[in-house]
């Protein structure tokens, strides 16, 4: 199951409410084309579940066998919103197609995507 990070980059109170997330994961070379095919036409119900959960500006980049994801969270209850994504039946079905394409980069707690630390930002 794909999971989302729980440690967002803090944004000072005098700035906008969105919180930025960066994540990285590997893609199995033999599944690269399938992953690209799937993401060329993401299911509208999956996109709707992400939007309902206050996820915005979600982008996935690919370089060789690495996937880099960036998104912004604009809600007030990250844990509840992430749980709503994980509980969505269509999203669960989507993950049965995308998860086999992915390769964890690190072992340990958390989901398969490795959280990244923001080192610089410019608005």
CATH number at residue 52: 3.30.70.1090
Q: What is the pLDDT of residues 88-102, one digit of tens each?
A: 999 999 999 999 999
The reply to whether 121 falls in a domain is no
d(CA 104, CA 16) in angstroms, rounded, equals 32
The reply to whether 7 falls in a domain is no
Asked if the model's pLDDT at residue 113 lies above 50, the reply is yes
The reply to whether 56 falls in a domain is yes
* Nearest one of 93, 16, 97, 101 to 65, comparing CA atoms: 101
* Nearest one of 29, 47, 51 to 39, comparing CA atoms: 47
The reply to whether 2 falls in a domain is no
CB 96 within 8 A of CB 2: no
The reply to whether 92 falls in a domain is yes
The pair of three-digit structure tokens given for residue 35, joined into one six-digit string: 């992953």
- Sequence-ordered list of residues with C-beta below 8 angstroms from that of 34, at least 6 positions apart, any chain: 97, 101
Q: What single-letter DSSP state applies at residue 10?
A: P
* Nearest one of 69, 75, 73, 80 to 2, comparing CA atoms: 69
Residue 14: pLDDT band with limits 50, 70, 90: very low
Count of structural domains within the chain = 1
- How big is the chain, counted in residues? 123
The reply to whether 25 falls in a domain is yes
What pTM does this model have? 0.83
Mean pLDDT taken over the chain: 91
d(CA 45, CA 24) in angstroms, rounded, equals 24
The reply to whether 81 falls in a domain is yes
- Whether the CA torsion 92, 86, 43, 106 is positive or negative: it is negative
Residue 23: give the domain boundaries: 19-115
The reply to whether 9 falls in a domain is no
What pLDDT sits at residue 17? 75
Asked if the model's pLDDT at residue 68 lies above 50, the reply is yes
Average pLDDT over residues 57-64: 98
Average pLDDT over residues 68-90: 97
Q: What is the pLDDT of residues 21-41, one digit of tens each?
A: 999 999 999 999 999 999 999
What pLDDT sits at residue 56? 98
Residue 123: pLDDT band with limits 50, 70, 90: confident
């Amino acid at each position: 199951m794909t999971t989302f990070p729980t440690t967002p980059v803090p944004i000072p109170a005098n700035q906008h409410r969105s919180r930025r997330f960066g994540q990285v994961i590997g893609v199995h070379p033999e599944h690269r084309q399938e992953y690209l095919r799937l993401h060329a036409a993401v299911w509208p119900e999956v996109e709707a579940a992400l939007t309902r959960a206050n996820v915005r500006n979600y982008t996935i980049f690919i370089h060789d066998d690495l996937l880099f994801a960036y998104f912004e969270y604009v809600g007030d209850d990250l844990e509840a919103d992430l749980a709503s994504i994980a509980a969505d039946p269509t999203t669960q079905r989507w993950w049965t197609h995308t998860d086999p394409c992915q390769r964890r980069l690190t072992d340990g707690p958390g989901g398969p995507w490795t959280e990244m630390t923001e080192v610089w930002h410019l608005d």
